[in-house]
Amino acid sequence: MDLESVLKEYRSVKGYLGSGITTYTSDVIAGDVADPSINLPLIAALTNDVLMQVHEVAQKYANTTCEETHIFGTDIVVLMRCTGPHAKAHLHLGCVLKADGNTALARMLMEKIALKVVDMV
């Protein structure tokens, strides 16, 4: 099974627009979009910067790392998850939903997908 196939698991989530997997330096290694207007590489690069800044804050003020970050906008929700800097593969997963999408289900899937992805790379 390839990484794109794993990302297609998100397609069952209400409001799904797209998802991706990046290295911690923002390089997209896999992606899936249900809405062609979604510019996945751009969203991945911008949100990856946010996640890295949150990592810095967590490290500086709590001596920990950030596992998950959510960005709630007027029209979209962006969920991001880090596999962890000490995991076999330090990757970031992202999922973009419509604002009324099922974030709870997307979060549950993201946790399962993160484990699969780390085993695959």
* 42 C-beta neighbours (distance < 10 Å), count: 10
Q: Which of 98, 38, 47 is nearest to 70 (CA)?
A: 47
Range of the domain at 69: 3-120
Q: What is the pLDDT of residues 15-67, one digit of tens each?
A: 999 999 998 888 899 999 998 888 888 888 888 888 888 888 988 998 888 88
CATH of the domain at 32: 3.30.450.30
CA pair distance 100, 14, nearest whole angstrom: 8
Q: What is the tally of structural domains in the chain?
A: 1
* Exposure string over 4-26, b if 16+ CB within 10 A, otherwise e: eebbebbeebebbbbbbbbebeb
Instruction: Give yes or no for a contact between 25 and 44, defined as CB atoms under 8 angstroms apart.
Output: no
> What is the per-residue pLDDT across 57-103, written as a single tens digit (0 to 9) for each?
988 998 888 888 899 999 999 999 998 877 888 899 999 999 999 99
**Band (1; pLDDT cuts 50, 70, 90):** low
C-alpha–C-alpha distance, residues 23 and 27, integer Å: 5
